[in-house]
Every structure is written in structure tokens, then in C-alpha cells.
Amino acid sequence: MSRFAAPIAEQIWDMKYRLKEQDGTPIDATVEDSWRRIARALAEVEDKPSEWEEKFYHALEDFKYLPAGRITAGAGTGRAVTLFNCFVMGTIPDNMGGIFDMLKEAALTMQQGGGIGYDFSTIRPRGAEVKGVAADASGPLSFMDVWDAMCRTIMSAGSRRGAMMATMRCDHPDIENFITAKQDSARLRMFNLSVLVTDAFMEAVKADGPWDLKYDGKVYHTLNARDLWNKIMRATYDYAEPGVIFIDRINKMNNLNYVEQIAATNPCGEQPLPPYGACLLGSINLARLVTNPFEGNAALDPAKLDELVRLAVRMMDNVVDASRFPLEAQREEAQNKRRIGLGVTGLADALLMLGLRYGSEEAAAQTEAWMKLIARASYLASVDLAKEKGAFPLFDAEKYLNSGNMLQMDDDVREAIRKHGIRNALLTSIAPTGTISLYAGNVSSGIEPVFAYAYTRKVLQPDGSRTEEEVVDYAVQMWRDKFGDKPLPDYFVNAQTLAPMDHVRMQAAAQKWIDSSISKTINCPEDIPFEEFKSVYMEAWDTGCKGCTTYRPNDVTGSVLSVSEKEEKAPEVDQGAEVVYLTEPLDRPAALEGSTYKIKWPGSEHAIYITINDIVQGGHRRPFEVFINSKNMEHFAWTVALTRMVSAVFRRGGDVSFVVEELKAVFDPRGGAWMQGKYVPSILAAIGGVIERHMIATGFLEGEGMGLKSDPEAEKMIVGEAPRGKACPSCGSYAMRMVEGCMTCADCGHSKCG
């Protein structure tokens, strides 16, 4: 009997977590081998490794405890990788040497696969005086462009897809430009952006008062606070960025506010971290702990939860000692505070098994109760570890007990900490679990609602063909197994039907007992009025959330996921977004429509000419071939090769927009150039930009960085079929969706944030 509840679970394991040789030969023969590998690696730091290996294996077995993907893929492999998912980097100094030292640290961290977060508020604003060089500062956004280029370089070198978070304070003089930076779809594509919103700013917004933009004590500009708030809201309403981080609340509620100041988060926002802080993540699968599901006496087993949490805390604490770190400063930070982030997944499924409607007052109360059980168990487990192994080095009993979440902790837990200390300074966080939730049998992700009860995914086979298989939510499959074709009860709701305030209610309920933060997306309908949309963020502020991320589908952010109750037969040929899929290349017609473009690369004697010819199919133009010519003989070989390869790809049909992405991701180690006000990292990237602009002009692409021109029919989600979205850059399926703040493919698990 397979341990996997669904074919997609086994496929995710094989693609992402199964240990293999360099040539792809499996080393982990079964998922049990993967569990054993992880358990053994994390038990090696114990005095009695064999004893703890068995206990750790039991926790991992049947997907009850799910370490984050980096641990699952890397523990016990012997490879030079970090087991930490992401980092907040050091404070950026306001000088050129220090800035580029930070860039080097970021590159070294991303080289090992770590996502990174940075606060760019420390860099002086654009136009500020730079003493000693008779020049004006270029401002933080210009350096963010450099970070963006670095991330693309690391990604194009074959490492894990880069993910970065950039934050900026709401009182920085360049904040307005920061808010609108990604409205240029070709800029800062490797970044998520969030505004650090202070308590004083929120008070000024509510009072409709003035707001100073300042740096280093100097006021550069004063504007109306509500106008700035509306600018943030309008940007995220139209473009889904920037997010909002309530930074003063984060620092106030931090157990370590006596030794650290937080100004940034990891890329998905669930881990606010100090300089060189690291994310150590894992999730309890609540869907595996419910007894008698869908019955009147259904309940989550508190004894099993307590036991599992205690083992998870010990395993995660061991990761601090077992992991490599890209930088020594990161190792020291982790060792000094031993911060972990234990969270949950399968929450929505567990609520369904108890007959509770996600987003209801009853579901929120149950969520808060479960989170408190996890918090208590986590803190008491860490106290036991402190008795055995010692408290974290920066522990100070009185300061710790009078900081952050400790002020609301139960008296018995506080007394235990006062008496024995605590091993881990912070213990709880709710991380994105998109891929590991698929691996665990398609349980609902994190604390998100069920996205879709069932859909059909297309699976690419080795021979190039695609087969279809149904992907069913874990709780829905349990219902089917138990009740057959009996209709789902009314309390089964999904992300497409929930009101935004239901999302906020659930986030606020969970946040009360989470000492770090939560990665969650609040889905909003496309037609939500702007004033109502703004009230979502104000409600998040008023109810104690530490941040807010929304997703309103529109022409800019992505396809509209609408649910049609009408069963429709899928066409035999997928014409998604007017793209024709071919098994053989088309014959070349005698005449084609085309255009020729000229690139003059700075410093090069000769220009490059690019001719792109199109074929017309179904009344729409699509690229068919490209010719690249230059008088510079040094360019001859690669321009001929590029002409032949790109033309061959174009003639095969399908979604060829990836050609643009690949070319634009190429970076010349000798440096790029500024062209028409934008930094272009290489000649190949410039060629990619030309091809992209041609595709946009002919209607093949929606816009810069936006993918295929949308087809209204491709944007419908038929019940029982795959939600249609942008094409996945990894597998090509139209299954990209916003989950926990990241565009994620429902078919292969590919995530924008890694």
C-alpha cells in the first residue's frame, strides 16, 4: 500500500524531496526512506541518536509533522545546503562600500538557496547630498535594481528560484516611488514589496492628519497621511503590491524586544526577523489528528497534538545545530536565540471534519483554541529542552517574561520559564505550505481555506503527451470515501466564495497565539469597491494582525478565477489563450508579416538587427521565426545559434513566452548597460526585451512580464476542472494561483517564492 493519498503527492515527493544521484537515479527508494533520512540527520546531534531517530520517524510518518521543504529535501543528504528557508540580511549601511558588501552577502546566501529580506529604509533618499563627491544620492530604489539583477544572476546559474522581500518605512522620503515601483512590470520582478506601517502613521490616517517624510532627522516633505494610505491601497488594489506590515506591533509583540529591533521579514512575511535572522519552519498537519471526522463527536485529539508538537519542537531545535549557514553572522544569530517557527497546515480541512464553516465565528474560536494548545505545548516543550540542554544564550528571565507575547501567556507556563529558562526565544509561525500540503495528500494549505474541492490537472508524461488526473482536497476525499455521492454540506466553502472579512477573522484568531507572524492571502473579488477593499486593511489593523496581504484578480494581477456551476465538456484541443499546441513544426508560408529592430549596445562598434516574423492563426499573430544579424564577427557564432534555436522553439508553438524570460535572465559578468532609462544586464537580455516588446505589440503577450494575452474563456473555472490562470513557467499548465502571498502552480507545485 502506498503511503501517498493521491498521485500528485507522490509526484511532488519525487520532484522536490526525494534524494537522488546527480544523474537522477533515486537514492530514497520510498518515502519511508526520506522520513528515515530526515529523522536520522536530526537525531545525530542527540546524546542517544538511535532512540530519538525512532521518535522523530514516528512524528514524520504518515505526514503528521511536515518540516519545511528545505529540511525535507536537504537533511541527511551530505550536501552543502542550508536547512533554513530564508533570511533577513544585515542592516544596509548608507555608504557605497557597505551597500556592496551587503550585496555580496545576499549573493552568497541566495547561492545556497536561501530567500532573503532587506529593509532599504536605511539608504538616503534620492537627491540627498553625498558629501565629499559633489553629487546627489541615487536613492534606495536604484540599489534595489542592483539586488534584483543579482537575484536573476543567481537564478540563471541554476540554483533555486530566487525570492526577496524589500521593505521601506512609511516615513521615508522615497516611499511614494517605492509604492509604485512594480507598476513597471519589468522592474523588481524578483522582489515582493511591503511598506513598514507605524502606529503613529495609522493614528494620523484615522485622524486625517499631516505626515512627515524624513531621513536622518531632516524633513523632506509633508503630506496628508490619508492621501499616502490611499496611494498604498490603490497600488495593492490594482497591482497586488505592496503588502502592509504593522512594524510597531511586530516589535511590541516580540519576545526579544529587549535585545533586537525588527525592520524586515522573510519573502512571504510570516517571519519578522532581526538582522541576520533565519526562518526555521515546520507544520503540524491538523487534518491527520481529527478523530471521527464528519460525525457528531468529531474532535482533534489533544493528547496526540501535544505529543506531536513536543517532538516537532525538539526536531526543529536540532536543526539549528545540524544546518549549515551561508554566513557566520547567520549562524551566530541562530545559535544565540534558537528561534523556530512551528505552524500548521490542513486547518481548513480539520474544521470541515468538525462541521465548521471556515470564516465563521465558531471556526475562528476553534482556530484560536487550537493555536493556544500549540503555543502552550511548544513553550513547555522548550522549557523541558532548557532543563536538558540549557536556555538560549541571550535569555534574561525578567526581561523575557515582560516582553511581547509572554505578557499574555498562562501563569503556569510563565512560572516554568522563570524557574528553568527556555530553549527557544520564539516558537510559532504559520508559513506557506503550498508544496508540502500537496505532498501530504493535498490538505488545505496553512490556515488558508480550501482553494478548490477538486480539479483536473494535466500531467506531462516522458513521451511529451499529457494525461489528466483528478486532484481532490483531502477532506473532500474523506467525505467521498465515507458517504459516496452524498452532496457536500453547506459548511463546505472555498476561497472563491468567502467574504474578505471572513479571511481577516481567521487570520486575527490565529495571530493571537502566534509569536511570529502568518503568511496568508485575503482573496477579494474583482468587483469589490475600493472603499470596501480599504476596510479589509483597516479591519486587519483593528483586530491585531501583524500585516495584511490581499489578492484581487484583474487584468494586471492575473486571470479572473470565476466558478461556473454549469458542467461543460472540455474541448479536445486546449486552445488556452489562443495558443496552438503542436507536435510537429509548422511549414513556413511563402510570405510572413514581420518587423526589424535595431539595438546599439553601449561600447560596441556595430549595431545588432533583429527581425521577427509572425504567422497568423485563428486571426491572431504569433511569433514564427527570428533572425539576428551583426557586422561584428565576434557575435557571428552565437547570433546564428540563437537564431536557429529560438526559431525552432517558435515553430513548435505553445506558450513560447518563456523564451523572453530566459533571455532577460542572462547576465554578463562584465556588466550590463543602461538603455532608455533601464538597466539591461546583457546583450542577450536586450534581445529578449526586443522580442518581448514585439510580442506585446502584436497582441501575443499581455504586457511586460505579464505572460500570454488573456482569453476570457480561459479565465473561467469550471467545477471539477482546473482553475485557469497564467501559464506555469515550470510545467506550462494554466494552474497558477495566489496562495499565501505567492503565485503557485496547482499542478507541479512551482512557486514564485521558491
> Looking at the annotation, which residues are catalytic?
266, 268, 270
How many CB atoms are closer than 10 A to CB 81?
18
Q: What is the C-alpha to C-alpha distance for residues 387 and 419, in angstroms, rounded to an integer?
A: 10
8 A C-beta contact, residue 384 and residue 376? no
Residue 65 per-residue DSSP state? E
Pairing relationship of beta strands 716-718 and 129-130 according to DSSP bridges: unpaired
Contacts 24+ apart (CB under 8 A), 288-291: 288/62, 288/63, 288/64, 288/346, 288/440, 289/64, 289/350, 290/350, 290/353, 290/354
Q: φ, ψ for residue 591 (rounded to 5)?
A: -135, 140
Q: Quickly tell me which residue has 521565426 as its cell.
A: 625
Q: What is the C-alpha to C-alpha distance for residues 14 and 20, in angstroms, rounded to an integer?
A: 9
Residues 6+ away with beta carbon under 8 Å from 193: 165, 166, 167, 168, 178, 181, 182, 241, 242, 243
Three-class SS of residue 363? Answer: helix
Q: What is the C-alpha to C-alpha distance for residues 303 and 310, in angstroms, rounded to an integer?
A: 11
Residue 93 per-residue DSSP state? P
Q: What is the C-alpha to C-alpha distance for residues 141 and 155, in angstroms, rounded to an integer?
A: 21
Phi-psi region of 730 (alpha: psi -120 to 50; beta: other; left: phi over 0): alpha
* Per-residue b or e along 254-272, where b marks 16 or more CB atoms closer than 10 Å to that residue's CB: bbbbebbebbbbbbbbbbb
Three-class SS of residue 682? Answer: coil
Q: What is the DSSP string of 254-273?
A: -TTTTT----EE-TTSS-EE
Instruction: Output the nine-digit C-alpha cell for 109.
Output: 546566501
> What is the chain's Cα-based Rg?
26
Q: Any idea how long the chain is?
A: 754
CB neighbour class for 96 (10 Å; exposed up to 12, middle 13-18, buried from 19):
exposed
Q: Quickly tell me which residue has 549573493 as its cell.
A: 107
How many CB atoms are closer than 10 A to CB 711?
17
Q: What is the C-alpha to C-alpha distance for residues 549 and 664, in angstroms, rounded to an integer?
A: 28
Three-class SS of residue 92? Answer: coil
Three-class SS of residue 141? Answer: helix
Count Cα atoms within 13 angstroms, Cβ side, for 183: 13
- Cross-strand partners of 617: 620
Element (H, E) at 221: strand 218-224
The CA–CA distances, whole Å, from 86 to 17, 42, 80, 463 equal: 18, 19, 16, 36
Residue 188 per-residue DSSP state? S
Count Cα atoms within 13 angstroms, Cβ side, for 31: 21
Q: What is the C-alpha to C-alpha distance for residues 520 and 523, in angstroms, rounded to an integer?
A: 9
First to last CA, the chain: 31
